[in-house]
């Protein structure tokens, strides 16, 4: 019971940030003296900090505020994308403390090379962490189909990875016995947006994100949709045109071949070396050449969005990553196309932009890494193995 109550209190402070003891009592249903004793234990363990009263509590007395020790208790969150590798220190409370990033291109996709580069990023990040700060977990987002229980990347078509035992390899590369949690990048982005971003407080949400590949995560009835094996939600591989472009998954005309950043460059016939942003700028400036191509991309984006509306009846569809920029460029066309959805779910959906920017996947990965601490705060701290350290 004590463990459960400690977990409830720490989770509330982690999600809400600074919260008064009287609000914690109201939210948990515990009495104030119990809350006081438990938050004192969490403070003693270095997980929260209690600060001088601000304002007045519900009983009219000033109430002490409890906030997470974000600077001192953190996780390492890694994001393995097609065009970037990112390592982020995320403090308790979901605070991004520090980040390092490398760009990626196909020459970097070799698994051993990826591990070396992740190790380099991690060492640089940890070398700058305060000496007293503790790393309590590692979470990793991967742009592929992930078996979370086995720590295995089953298939990452855009990296050409098949059945890579990433958890074991990373533990060796980072020289840590901390547990490493893996997740699909789209699922983690959805989780982060649902907990702390643009989808906070909503129950049914589809999150779409991508650069070269298009991934997604789906929240149904307040919970992440996993599918039987945890492989659900691969919306980038729903078929839009069976005669379309070849996809790295082996099929043709998958959504990601029609709406990702490569698709925009191809559809508009952009000159070699031109970036997505430059194409979108030219289109926004009213230049003629990208117009027909952008209309085709908008059509494909709309067809996929309408399918998602009809299947999942979401309250909100969020666009993140490069898809965010593409959506912004053709927003009126996609909004207009919502009329093609079945009228009942079509009337209920809103289209919007991811709120956490480039860090949504890392913030989602951090939530995976914090899960054990939040389930059993003092027990997990007591069992922490050799901490992750930068080499001397
Ligand atoms: Zn595909």
Q: Tens of pLDDT along 210-242?
A: 877 898 999 999 999 999 988 888 999 999 999
Tens-digit pLDDT profile for residues 352-362: 999 998 889 99
218 and 350 together in one domain: yes
State the distance from the centre of ligand 1 to the C-alpha of 254, rounded, in angstroms. Answer: 5
Residues 282 and 326 in one domain: yes
CB-based contacts of 221, cutoff 8 Å, min separation 6: 203, 204
Two structure tokens written together for 166: 């990433």
| Residue where one domain finishes, among candidates 45, 68, 91 | 68
pLDDT of 392? 40
Q: In whole angstroms, what is the distance from residue 41 CA to residue 324 CA? A: 43
Is residue 271 in a domain?
yes
Q: In angstroms, what is the span from residue 199 Cα to ligand 1's centroid?
A: 27
Find the 78 Cα to ligand 1 centroid distance in Å: 24
Q: Which residues of the chain have a pLDDT value below 50?
A: 390-392
| CA–centroid distance, residue 102 to ligand 1 (Å) | 26
- pLDDT tens string 235-272: 999 999 999 999 988 999 999 999 988 899 999 999 99
Greatest CA separation for the chain:
69
Question: On the CB side of 211, how many CA atoms lie within 13 Å of its CA?
Answer: 17
CA of 252 relative to ligand 1 center, distance in Å: 7
Q: Are residues 218 and 341 in the same domain?
A: yes
Domain annotation covers residue 314: yes
- Residue 53, CB half-sphere, CA atoms under 13 Å: how many? 10
Last residue of a domain, one of 49, 68, 87: 68
Q: How many domains does the chain have?
A: 3
Cα 68 to Cα 72: distance, rounded to the nearest angstrom: 9
Write the CATH number for 23: 1.10.10.10
* CA 305 / ligand 1 centre spacing (Å): 17
Q: Which residues pair with 220 in a beta bridge?
A: 223
Ligand 1 centroid–CA 232 distance in Å is: 14
Domain boundary (68, 89, 113) is at 68
The pocket of ion ligand 1, defined by CB under 5 A, consists of: 237, 247, 249, 251, 254
Tokens of 313: 């009846």
Pure H helices in the chain: 2-16, 21-28, 32-44, 111-127, 166-173, 185-196, 255-259, 261-268, 276-284, 291-312, 321-329, 331-337, 343-348, 360-375, 377-383
In a shared domain, residues 345 and 372: no
Q: Are residues 92 and 181 in the same domain?
A: yes
Rounded distance from Cα 213 to ligand 1 centre (Å): 9
CA–centroid distance, residue 351 to ligand 1 (Å): 24
| DSSP 3-state of 367 | helix
169 and 33 in a common domain: no
**Bridge partners of residue 215, in order along the sequence:** 209
Q: State the distance from the centre of ligand 1 to the C-alpha of 81, rounded, in angstroms.
A: 16
What was the pLDDT predicted at 58? 54
Regarding whether 365 and 346 lie in a shared domain, the answer is: no
166 shares its domain with 301: no
What is the distance between the alpha carbons of residues 17 and 357, in angstroms, rounded to a whole number? Answer: 20
Q: Are residues 343 and 261 in the same domain?
A: yes
Residue 390 domain-assigned? no
d(CA 216, ligand 1 centre) in Å: 13
Domain extent, residue 13, equals: 2-68
Question: Are 180 and 101 contained in the same domain?
Answer: yes
CATH number assigned to the domain comprising residue 334: 3.30.420.40
Interval between CA 128 and ligand 1 midpoint (Å): 40
Query: Which pLDDT does position 328 carry in this prediction?
Result: 96
Neighbour tally for 284: CB within 10 Å: 12
Residue 18: predicted pLDDT: 95
CA of residue 127 to ligand 1 center, whole Å: 40
- Is 388 a member of any domain? no
Token pair belonging to 294: 């952008």
If asked whether residues 344 and 369 sit together in one domain, one would say no
Rounded to the nearest angstrom, the distance between the alpha carbon of 233 and the centre of ligand 1 is 13
The alpha carbon of 160 and the centre of ligand 1 are apart by a number of angstroms equal to 13
Could you tell me if 204 and 179 lie in one domain? no
């Amino acid at each position: 019971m004590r463990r459960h109550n400690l977990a409830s209190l720490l989770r509330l402070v982690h999600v809400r940030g600074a919260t008064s003891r009287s609000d914690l009592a109201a939210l948990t249903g515990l009495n104030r003296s119990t809350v006081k004793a438990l938050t004192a234990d969490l403070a003693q363990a270095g997980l929260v900090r209690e600060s001088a009263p601000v304002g007045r509590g519900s009983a009219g007395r000033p109430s002490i505020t409890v906030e997470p020790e974000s600077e001192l208790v953190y996780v390492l969150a890694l994001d393995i994308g097609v065009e970037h590798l990112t390592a982020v220190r995320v403090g308790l409370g979901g605070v991004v403390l520090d980040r390092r990033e490398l760009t990626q291109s196909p020459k970097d996709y070799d698994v051993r090379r990826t591990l070396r580069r992740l190790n380099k990023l991690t060492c640089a990040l940890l070398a700058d962490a305060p000496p007293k700060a503790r790393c309590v977990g590692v979470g990793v987002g991967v742009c592929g189909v992930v078996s979370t229980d086995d720590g295995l990347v089953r298939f990452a078509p855009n990296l050409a990875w098949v059945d890579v035992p990433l958890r074991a390899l990373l533990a060796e590369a980072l020289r840590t016995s901390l547990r490493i949690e893996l997740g699909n990048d789209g699922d983690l982005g959805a989780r982060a947006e649902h907990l702390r971003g643009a989808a906070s407080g909503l129950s049914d949400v589809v999150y779409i994100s991508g650069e070269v590949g298009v991934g997604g995560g789906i929240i149904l009835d307040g919970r992440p949709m996993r599918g039987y094996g945890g492989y659900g939600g691969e919306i980038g591989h729903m078929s839009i045109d069976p005669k379309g472009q070849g996809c790295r998954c082996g099929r043709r005309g998958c959504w990601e071949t029609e709406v990702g950043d490569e698709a925009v460059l191809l559809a508009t016939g952009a000159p070699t070396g031109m970036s997505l942003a430059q194409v979108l700028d030219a289109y926004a400036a009213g230049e003629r050449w990208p117009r027909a191509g952008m209309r085709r991309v908008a059509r494909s984006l709309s067809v996929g969005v309408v399918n998602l509306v009809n299947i999942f009846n979401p309250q909100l569809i969020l666009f993140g990553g490069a898809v965010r920029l593409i959506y912004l460029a053709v927003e009126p066309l996609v909004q207009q196309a919502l009329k093609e959805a079945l009228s009942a779910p079509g009337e209920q959906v809103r289209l919007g932009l991811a709120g956490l920017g480039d860090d949504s996947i890392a913030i989602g990965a951090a939530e995976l890494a914090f899960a054990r601490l939040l389930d059993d705060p003092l027990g997990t701290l007591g069992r922490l193995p050799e901490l992750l350290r930068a080499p001397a």
